Amino acid sequence: VIKEKHRNNYKMFETSISENFKSMLTMESDLRKALQKEQFELHYQPQKNLLTGGIVGMEALLRWNHPEKGYIPPLDFISLAERTGLIIEIGDWVMYEACRQNKLLQGKGYDPVIVSVNLSAKQFHQKNLVTKIKNTLKETGLDPKYLELEITESMAMTNEHYILNTLQQLRELGVLVSIDDFGTGYSSLRYLSVFPVTKLKIDKTFMDASQKQNKAIVKSIIHMSHSLNMKVIAEGVETHEQIEFLREEKCDEMQGYYFSKPLPPAKLIQLLTAG
């Protein structure tokens, strides 16, 4: 009997491995088709200036509108896209679309905002990244000062020479650079002071005030950003208390559900003011 049970368990185990493998392969081939079938969309989460209350930026966040599964969040497919290399094509699409839509908004007479685009490690390490971005800006007609690239600490803190060079070229182009999820990775303070980064994005985990040390961490990141001549934005702001605290500590900007979730372009437009 025991042997029988064992065999059944083993069978179940085997089935679940092959099912998982199958669904991964299906996902990979679906992902390949998604670009041609235009199943990707960008949603935008507005970023507010804490002093003026005006919308100064919007983060482009990728959504996959799968024909059977509905909206699939980026964290469920970005790593697969990285592993298969598809992230390059997807990333090119995101960059073009974000610049195109931002230029379109400006053409409609809204006060100009900065669009920020997330870059994955593979994208950031492309040898022709700067040329590609330059061409995208030219094709879409977007002024570089309205494009911000978000990189993560781990991407910035390896291969110092190459990164520094790439960041300098991007800054010369006039594009802005922020460090996303700041405080969750390993960054060296020396790199931070040397890299021409324009903004730090405080990771949303630090907004949790039930962890007492978080307030101290947020304070220090704000003060450090300003001493290094960078702007600072808080992510994941969900309550009024958090906003009060950020204002008191002179944080420049905020982004979070308290003000708005990421929205499709038609909904975002309703929040913008015509200038």
Residue 238: partners with Cβ closer than 8 Å, 6 or more residues away: 207, 256, 257, 258
Helix/strand/coil for 144: helix
Q: How far is the CB of 55 from ligand C2E (least distance, A)?
A: 15
To the nearest 10 degrees (0 to 180), the angle between helices 129-140 and 160-173 is 20
List 45, 102, 118, 136, residue binding Mg ion (CB under 5 A)? 118
Please state the closest distance from residue 119 (CB atom) to ligand C2E, in A.
Answer: 6
- Nearest by Cα to 54 from 243, 246, 254: 254
SS (H, E, C) 16-31: HHHHHHHHHHHHHHHH
Q: Is 148 in the site for Mg ion (CB under 5 A)?
A: no
The contact mask relative to Mg ion for 30-69 (x = CB under 5 A, - = no) is ----------------------------------------
- Please give the residue ranges that form the binding site for ligand C2E (CB under 6 A): 45, 61-62, 73-75, 78, 94, 118-120, 150, 180-181, 204, 235-238, 256-257, 262
Bridge partners, residue 149, by sequence: 117, 177
Q: What's the closest the beta carbon of residue 4 comes to ligand C2E, in angstroms?
A: 45
Q: Tell me the two tokens of residue 243.
A: 């906003």
Nearest by Cα to 47 from 275, 233, 273, 247: 233
Residue 184 has phi, psi (to 5 degrees) of -100, -15
Question: Could you say which of 148, 180, 252, 253 contacts Mg ion (CB under 5 A)?
Answer: 180
* CB of 152 vs ligand C2E, minimal distance in Å: 8
Q: Toward Mg ion, which CB reaches closer, 67 or 73?
A: 73
* Cβ proximity to Mg ion, 115 vs 243, nearer residue: 115
Q: Closest distance between Mg ion and the C-beta of residue 82, in Å? A: 14
Contact predicate 131/121, CB 8 Å = no
150 part of the interface to Mg ion, by CB under 5 A: yes
Residue nearer to ligand C2E on the CB measure, 9 or 79: 79
Binding-site partner at residue 62 among Mg ion, ligand C2E, none, CB < 5 to 8 Å by type: ligand C2E
Least separation in angstroms between residue 135's CB and Mg ion is 23
Residue 262, contacted partner among ligand C2E, Mg ion, none, CB below 5-8 A by kind: ligand C2E
Contacts of 41 (CB under 8 A, 6+ apart): 62, 63, 64, 65, 264
Distance separating alpha carbons of residues 236 and 261, to the nearest angstrom: 10
Question: Which of Mg ion, ligand C2E, none sits in contact with 46, Cβ below 5 to 8 A by type?
Answer: none
Looking from the CA of 181 toward its CB, the CA atoms found within 13 Å total 12
Binding site for Mg ion (CB under 5 A): 118, 150, 180-181, 235
